Structure 1
Amino acid sequence: MGNEWIERWRDGRIGFHRDLAHPALLKHWPSLGVRPGTKVLVPLCGKSLDMRWLGQHDHPVLGIELAPLAIEQFVEEGPGMVSRYRQGGFDVTRQANVELWCGDFFHFHIDQAAEIGAFYDRAALIALPPATRQRYAFHLAQLTPPGACGLLISLTRPEGLGVGPPYHVSAEEVRERFEPNFRVTFVEQGEPEEGSGFRETIWSLVRRGPRQ
């Protein structure tokens, strides 16, 4: 799985990348009520401009990305001085208030996530095959404290239209994966994408406490 994504970046097969911040982020993030200054975790972040938008709205960002090329392109295409260091087995690249940790999301541990108070998933869950999505949801829960809010942008695809990635993730699966540890609220469903029929579904998630 990891090698496949590294090869995609190397070959320039990154049709999932958007040249602007995602409209759902702009529309729905403010309604989560995440306080300014709260650090936002962005798993499988690529070079998403959503991270710059979050940074510009007073949120330190911690993105985790397996492909070094994605991180290099992010800092090359953005303004600001770049610093690099190594921490907890990850190579970390920092530009402004965005820090990008290069490595496997599943190797990022709770002691490294002490400052995380919110999260954003635009294309992480749907990049993972079915066998890995349960593990992803559980690991995300481990990394986020009770009360942490997040926005999840999932995807459905017409039956018979290949397998993925991006993968089809039904509303039932979103609830099944996340409801054990999060309060899950359906927010919105987008219109079918012209040419592919893909439809994005938007969800807000709040990490449950031990008695919730």
Structure 2
Amino acid sequence: MVEDWRQRWQQGRIGFHREAVHPALERHWPGLGVDEGAKVLVPLCGKSLDMRWLADRGHPVLGIELAEEAIEQFLAEGAGEVSRYHHAHFAVSRQGNVELWCGDFFHLHIDEAAEIGAFYDRAALIALPEAARQRYAFHLAQLLPPGARGLLITLTRAPGDSGGPPYEVTADEVHERFSPNFEVTHLEDGEREPGSGFRESIWKLVRRGPGR
């Protein structure tokens, strides 16, 4: 999976990348109730412009990305000095209020996520095959403190289309994967996209506390 992901970036096969901020982020983030200045975790972040949008609104951003190519493109397309260092399993680059950790999301330890108070997932869960999605949901829950909240964007494919990535994640699967550790609220379904047949669904997730 790692090598395939890197090849996609090297060959420019990044149709999943959006050249604009996701409109669902702009619509729904202000209503999530995320604390002002909370640090936002963005798993499998690519070079998403959504990270700059979050940073411009006062949120430190921690993006995790496997492909070095994606991180270098994000930095080259941005402005400001870049600082670099290594931490445990990750090569870290920082530009402004955005910190990008190059490595495996599943290697991110809870101690390294101590300051995280929110998350944003537009293309992480749907990039993972079914066997890895339960692991992802559990690991995300481990990294987030009670009360942490965020936005999850999933998609369904056209009837009869079972390909991927991106993979189809149904509403039933969202509840199955996340309800044990999160309060799950469905916010909206988008229109089915012409050509691809994809239809996005937007979810608000709030990390449950003990006994909830």
Band the TM-score falls in, shorter-chain normalisation: over 0.9
Superposition CA RMSD, Å: 0.6
Cα distance in structure 2, aligned partners of 1:31 and 1:166: 27
Q: Give the aligned partner of residue 74 of structure 1.
A: 74
Q: Give the aligned partner of residue 135 of structure 2.
A: 135
Cα distance in structure 1, aligned partners of 2:196 and 2:50: 23
Q: 1:2-29, CA deviations, whole angstroms, 9 ceiling, x for partnerless residues?
A: 1110110011000000111100000000
Q: What's the offset of the Cα at 1:162?
A: 4.2
TM-score (norm 2): 0.99
1:136-151 equivalences under 5 Å are 136-151=136-151
Q: Give the aligned partner of residue 157 of structure 2.
A: 157
Runs of 5+ consecutive residues of structure 1 not aligned to the other structure: none
1:112-131 equivalences under 5 Å are 112-131=112-131
Give the SS at the match of 2:174.
Answer: helix
Cα distance in structure 2, aligned partners of 1:68 and 1:75: 11
Q: 1:73-121, CA deviations, whole angstroms, 9 ceiling, x for partnerless residues?
A: 0000001110001112210000000000000000001000000000000
Q: What's the offset of the Cα at 1:159?
A: 2.5
Task: Name the % identity.
Answer: 72
TM-score (norm 1): 0.99
Give the SS at the match of 2:74.
Answer: helix
For the 8 Å contact 1:183–1:206, the answer to whether it is kept is yes
Q: Give the aligned partner of residue 89 of structure 2.
A: 89
For the 8 Å contact 1:88–1:112, the answer to whether it is kept is no
Q: Which shows bigger deviation, 85-94 or 200-209?
A: 85-94
